[in-house]
Chains A and B, each alone.
Chain A
């Protein structure tokens, strides 16, 4: 399954950033990772772009968008 470790690492960085607990240690680690090879920023930008687009695909399941509950939608 591990066809492209840099892609997987880039994907995991995007997930870590999404998690929100991106403290100074994580930031330093991320910057070091990005600078360790020319293919990394490319992989990261691709991962971030694709990550964004996964957020624009309508859900297949009945998942409510955070911050937009049914009650809010009904104007309550």
Chain B
């Protein structure tokens, strides 16, 4: 019989700390209604198993997902505003050939591919990227903590994009 790896559900942790997670979303997104939407999105991602492995710090991971969905909301807002102000028609360009979030792209497979790509990074580059991407430290703060130059940190963060380029194909299956 194949051994089945049982991954503990993140649902109890999520529900127990719902109000704390909601406040993280509200703090980042700055709007209570949006924060509720973000939390719902995070719940689906976490409970339907975006992450197929056991995480060492379940609440920290829930917070990480909530925070990053909220940051992505802000990014989208900023891009839409930019278009409204700086382009003639004010419309975002239609992106052809991409896969929209619920068009059947297997997000877990994509996440696995990204994790796989990140695991090929030199340990120090991965640490820098996580401090930057997940820890929310500035490139300067990371440089100070690790005793290297901010320029080097900047190069490392940029280089992560190179190893992730190969995951792009999964976004354009046809």
Contact = CB atoms under 8 A, between A and B. Distances in A.
Contact of A55 (B53, B79, B133, B138): B133
Which of the listed residues A3, A22, A32, A55 has the most CB atoms from chain B within 10 Å of its own CB? A55
Contact of A59 (B69, B98, B114, B130): B130
Interface residues of B, number: 66
Interface string B149-174: 00000000110111011011001100
Contacts of A45: 95, 98
Contacts of B60: 64-65, 68, 73
Contact of B86 (A1, A28, A42, A65): A28
Interface of A: 1, 3-4, 7-8, 11-12, 14-15, 17-19, 22, 27-28, 30-32, 34-35, 38, 41-42, 45-50, 52-61, 63-68, 72-73
